[in-house]
């Protein structure tokens, strides 16, 4: 176990460096964007006069590296600054929205992960049958449809035509959990459709990959029934790649859902980030990107730890 802890510590250290590098990249990317925040805020109504005034007010007249160092200094003390546009603290702007994003991601993940693994096992069991082929075509189709399109189709059938679920996934803090789940069902389902296929295919592939191993043949020769061969003898050894794909998809559920948010008007963090980029609101862009990157890094780390924990060789050293 000591090994795992030292691995985690090392990876977290690397993660911090990665975050630092990302913050530099994001800062200068935002700097490089044509136009600046003053122009973005004032838009068509900008004149040389009020542009200069706003720039002075926001401190944009100082050199970029200095501004970055300022930001970094306060970020290290836990203060991510104020939004340049709304002047409210970044943490405030992001807090509830990130909570919402996490809620939706969890919702989708709770449905998608078990479903994907179950289906993956099923198609591995009935490999090369009609069922497998159909699942293959369906999942490929769902992978290859743009997610906003999937969203629109779901809205058409489940909201407009039948009225089963609300089309607008606007949630409030004072809603009950059931209300929230009902309201966010369609965006969650869209995301489920987007991620299930990938995870399911990976589960199937890793299982089938192991079917040629001698211990699987041994299990068959012991008279173990086909489903048990898959569930008991193959799946436990197939976890590592599956966990990695699951982690990748979980990261996607959190970081890649801008389009779903737009389609279902869900108050998540993705929309905030796109708005912030448009307005060149650097502190918000930076904070969002770092949250996303940290999510990605942590999930990857979790996946690696998961692979270690599911590997008996590493879990039970000699």
Partner 1 sequence: MNYFIIGFYALVIGASSLAAFYQKRTAFILLFSLTLVSFVMGIVGGEAMLWSVTILAGLIAFSAGVSYSFREFLVIILPNDMAKEMRTAPLTAGFGLFVIFTYAISGIFAPIIAPYGEAEVITSAFAPADENMLLGADQLGRDMFSRIIYGARNTVGLALLATILAFLMGATAGLYAASKGGKLDQLLGRIVDVIMSIPSLIFSLLLLSIFGTNTTTLIIVIAIIYAPRVYRLARSVGGNVVVMDYIEAAKLRGEGTWYLIRKEILPNSTAPLIAEFGLEFCFVFLLVAGLSFLGLGIQPPTADWGSMVRENATLISFGEITPLIPAGAIALLTVAVNFVVDWMLDRTSGLKE
Partner 2 sequence: MSQDKTVLLNIKNLIIEGYSDEKWVGIVHGVDLKLHRGEVMGLIGESGAGKSTIGLAAMGFTKDGCRIGEGSSIEFDGMELTTTPQSDLQSLRGSRIAYVAQSAAASFNPAHKLIDQHTEAPLQYRIQKRLESQEDAMELYEKLRLPNPREIGFRYPHQVSGGQLQRAMTAMAMACRPDLIIFDEPTTALDVTTQIEVLSAIRDIVDQFNTAAIYITHDLAVVAQMADVIKVLLKGNEVEEADTRTMLSNPQDDYTKSLWAVRDFKRDQKPRPTEGSPLISVKNVDASYGDTPVLHDVSFDIYEGMTVAVVGESGSGKSTVARCITGLLPPTKGECLFKGTPLPPDYRDRSKDQLRQAQMIYQMADTALNPKVKISEIIGRPAQFYSGLTGPALKNRVDELLDLIELEPAQYYNRYPPELSGGQKQRIGIARSLAAEPTFIICDEVTSALDQLVAEGILRLLDKLQNELNLSYMFITHDLATVRSIADEVVVMQYGKVVEQGPKDVMFKPPHHAYTDLLLSSVPEMDPDWLTTLLEERGVDDIGEAAKANKRD
Partner 3 sequence: MTDRTKKEFKELLTQDAKSGKLGRRDFMRFAVAAGMTIPLASGLWSSEVAAATPKKGGKFRVGVHDMNTSDSHDPGTYQSVGQIQIAHTHRSYLTEITPENGLGPDMADSWSASPDAKVWTFELNKNATFHNGKKFTSADAIASLNHHRGEKSTSGGKALLSSVSDIKAKGDHTLVIELNQGSADLPWFLTDYHLVMIPAKADGTADWESGTGAGPYEITSHKPGIGTNYKRHGGWHREGAYFDEIEMVGLNDPNARQTALITGDVDAITSVDLKTAALLGRNPNIVVENVPSGSAITLPMFCDVAPFDNLDVRLALKYAVDRQDLVDKIMFGTATVGNDYHVSAGMPYAPTDIPQRPYDPDKAKFHLKKAGMSNLEVNLSAADSILPGAVDMCVLYSEHAKKAGIKLNAIREPNDGYWSDVWLKKPWCFVKWGARPTPDQMFTLAYKDDAPWNESHWQNKRFNELLLMAKAELDDTRRAEQYREMCVLASDDGGTVIPFFANFVYARTKKVAHGSSLAASWELDGGRGYHRWWFA
- Contact segment (CB under 8 A) with partner 3 among 19-27, 74-82, 270-278, 310-318 equals 270-278
- Find, among 90, 85, 18, 76, the residue nearest to 58 by Cα: 85
Instruction: Confirm or reject binding of residue 128 to partner 2 (CB under 8 A).
Output: no
Instruction: Confirm or reject binding of residue 213 to partner 2 (CB under 8 A).
Output: yes
Contacts of 230-238 spanning 24+ positions with Cβ under 8 A = 230/121, 230/124, 230/125, 231/121, 234/124, 234/207, 234/210, 235/121, 235/207, 236/310, 237/210, 237/213, 238/203, 238/206, 238/207, 238/209, 238/210
- Find, among 297, 306, 315, 205, the residue nearest to 14 by Cα: 297
Instruction: Confirm or reject binding of residue 219 to partner 2 (CB under 8 A).
Output: yes
- Contact segment (CB under 8 A) with partner 3 among 15-23, 121-129, 190-198, 278-286 equals 278-286
Task: Provide the minimum distance between the beta carbon of 193 and partner 1 in the complex, in angstroms, as a whole number.
Answer: 13
Site size toward partner 1 (CB under 8 A) is: 45
Name which of 79 and 132 has its Cβ closer to partner 2. Answer: 132
- Contact segment (CB under 8 A) with partner 3 among 34-42, 213-221, 235-243, 307-315 equals 34-42
Burial-class residue 155 by CB neighbours within 10 Å (0-12, 13-18, 19+): buried
Instruction: Confirm or reject binding of residue 74 to partner 3 (CB under 8 A).
Output: no
Token pair 């939706």 is at which residue? 104
Give yes or no for a contact between 207 and 241, defined as CB atoms under 8 angstroms apart: no
- Contact segment (CB under 8 A) with partner 1 among 58-66, 87-95, 218-226, 293-301 equals 293-301
Instruction: Confirm or reject binding of residue 307 to partner 1 (CB under 8 A).
Output: no
Instruction: Confirm or reject binding of residue 144 to partner 1 (CB under 8 A).
Output: yes
Kindly report the backbone phi and psi dihedral angles of residue 89, in degrees, each rounded to the nearest multiple of 5, phi listed first. -60, 140
Instruction: Confirm or reject binding of residue 87 to partner 2 (CB under 8 A).
Output: no
Contacts of 99-104 spanning 24+ positions with Cβ under 8 A = 100/171, 100/266, 100/267, 100/268, 100/269, 101/254, 101/257, 101/268, 101/269, 101/270, 102/254, 103/171, 103/180, 103/184, 104/184, 104/187, 104/188, 104/191, 104/253, 104/257, 104/266, 104/268
- Find, among 301, 209, 189, 315, the residue nearest to 253 by Cα: 189
Instruction: Confirm or reject binding of residue 259 to partner 1 (CB under 8 A).
Output: yes
Name which of 30 and 119 has its Cβ closer to partner 1. Answer: 30
Please choose which of partner 1, partner 3, partner 2, none residue 281 contacts, taking the beta carbon within 5 to 8 angstroms, the exact cut-off set by kind: partner 3
Instruction: Confirm or reject binding of residue 32 to partner 2 (CB under 8 A).
Output: no
- Find, among 276, 307, 305, 279, the residue nearest to 289 by Cα: 276
Q: Which of 35, 59, 146, 236 binds partner 2 (CB under 8 A)?
A: 236
One symbol per residue from 45 to 64: x for binding partner 3 (CB under 8 A), - otherwise; what is it? xxxxxx--xx--x-------
Site size toward partner 3 (CB under 8 A) is: 47
Footprint of partner 3 (CB under 8 A): 33-36, 38-50, 53-54, 57, 83, 85-87, 93, 152, 155, 159-160, 163, 166-168, 170, 262-265, 267, 271-272, 275-279, 281
Footprint of partner 1 (CB under 8 A): 14, 17-18, 21-22, 25-26, 29-30, 32-34, 129-130, 133, 136-137, 140-141, 143-149, 152-153, 155-156, 160, 212, 255-256, 258-259, 262, 273-274, 277, 289, 292-293, 296-297
């Amino acid at each position: 176990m000591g090994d795992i802890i030292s691995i985690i510590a090392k990876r977290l250290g690397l993660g911090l460096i990665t975050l630092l590098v990302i913050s530099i990249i994001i800062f200068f990317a935002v700097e490089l964007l044509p136009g600046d925040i003053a122009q973005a805020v004032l838009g068509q109504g900008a004149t040389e006069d009020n542009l200069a005034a706003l720039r002075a007010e926001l401190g944009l007249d100082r050199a970029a590296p200095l501004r970055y160092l300022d930001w970094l200094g306060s970020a290290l003390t836990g203060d991510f600054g104020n939004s340049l546009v709304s002047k409210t603290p970044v943490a405030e702007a992001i807090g509830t929205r990130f909570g919402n994003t996490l809620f939706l991601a969890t919702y989708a993940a709770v449905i998608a992960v078990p479903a994907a693994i179950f289906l993956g096992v099923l198609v591995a069991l009935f490999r090369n049958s009609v069922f497998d082929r159909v699942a293959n075509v369906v999942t490929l189709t769902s992978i290859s449809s743009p997610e906003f399109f999937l969203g629109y189709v779901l809205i058409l059938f489940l909201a407009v035509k039948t009225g089963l679920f609300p089309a607008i996934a606007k949630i409030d803090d004072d809603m009950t959990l059931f209300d929230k789940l009902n309201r966010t069902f369609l965006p969650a389902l869209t995301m489920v459709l987007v991620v299930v296929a990938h995870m399911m295919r990976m589960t199937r592939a890793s299982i089938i990959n192991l079917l040629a191993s001698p211990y699987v043949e041994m299990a068959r020769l012991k008279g173990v029934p086909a489903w048990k061969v898959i569930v008991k003898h193959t799946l436990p050894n197939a976890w590592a790649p599956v966990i990695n794909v699951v982690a990748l998809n979980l990261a996607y559920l959190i970081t890649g859902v801008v389009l779903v948010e737009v389609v279902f008007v869900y108050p998540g963090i993705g929309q905030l980030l796109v708005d912030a980029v448009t307005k060149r609101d650097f502190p918000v862009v930076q904070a969002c990107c770092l949250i996303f990157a940290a999510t990605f890094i942590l999930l990857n780390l979790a996946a690696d730890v998961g692979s270690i924990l599911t590997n008996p060789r590493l879990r039970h050293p000699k």
